[in-house]
């Protein structure tokens, strides 16, 4: 069994913000989500593997509250958990699949690591670029994409959804090799 977690904030005010790309990617998979506890979740089968797709409603920085109890109940090990989240250290148009590592200032990832007691889970980092100036990070991640960015965002979300499906079917290493080098700003294709 696997668990894919899209990070974001609940509510219409946050729906189209940079911080919600994790939710947006899961929405691209066409799953029927239902509310259960502190999350929206969908059970699905991909590539002959059964799993859960989760959109925590705990707000971004408290994502671990929804993830850890579910992972424990279903006995899903960290290497079968993929967290999809925004990443300011990557430009818009870049994706990065990786296993483990520090949260690097991402409070949602830190919340999951703390709640699980490990940083060994997998991540799909979606580049959103850096804020215009230092100290504007919080306002930047809670801002919507500009109209000029929208066509690229649409492409990124589609490719990221493909990367999630790849991770479920094939695992981290083959998918990292396929997706980590793409630069969608340059029109790269699979």
The set of catalytic residues is 19
Alpha carbons 33 and 43: distance in angstroms, whole number: 8
Contact between residue 109 and residue 64 where contact means Cβ atoms under 8 Å apart: no
Helix axes 150-170, 172-179, angle to 10 degrees: 150
Backbone angles phi and psi of 116, in degrees to 5: -85, -20
Alpha carbons 107 and 21: distance in angstroms, whole number: 15
Kindly compute the dihedral angle of the four CA atoms of residues 66, 67, 70, 72, in this order, to the nearest 10 degrees.
Answer: -130
Q: Is the dihedral of CA 152, 109, 101, 99 positive or negative?
A: negative
Give the DSSP per-residue string, 55-87. Answer: EESS-GGGTHHHHHHHHHHTT--GGGEEEEEEE
> Which tokens sit at 152?
């690229």
């Amino acid at each position: 069994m696997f668990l894919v977690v899209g990070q974001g904030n609940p509510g219409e005010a946050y729906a189209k913000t940079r911080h919600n790309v994790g939710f947006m990617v899961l929405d691209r998979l066409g799953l029927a989500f239902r509310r259960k506890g502190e999350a929206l979740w969908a059970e699905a089968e991909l590539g002959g593997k059964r799993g859960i797709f989760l959109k925590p409603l705990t707000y971004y920085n408290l994502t671990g509250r929804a993830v850890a109890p579910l992972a424990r109940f279903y006995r899903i090990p960290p290497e079968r958990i993929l967290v999809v989240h925004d990443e300011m250290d990557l430009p818009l148009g870049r994706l990065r699949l990786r296993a483990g590592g520090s949260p690097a200032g991402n409070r949602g990832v830190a919340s999951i690591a703390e709640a699980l007691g490990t940083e060994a889970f997998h991540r799909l980092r979606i580049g959103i670029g850096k804020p215009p100036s230092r100290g504007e990070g919080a306002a930047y991640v809670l801002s919507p994409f500009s109209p000029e960015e929208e066509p690229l965002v649409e492409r990124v979300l589609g490719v990221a959804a493909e990367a999630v499906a790849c991770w479920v079917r094939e695992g981290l290493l083959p998918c990292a090799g396929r997706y980590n080098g793409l630069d969608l700003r340059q029109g790269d294709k699979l």
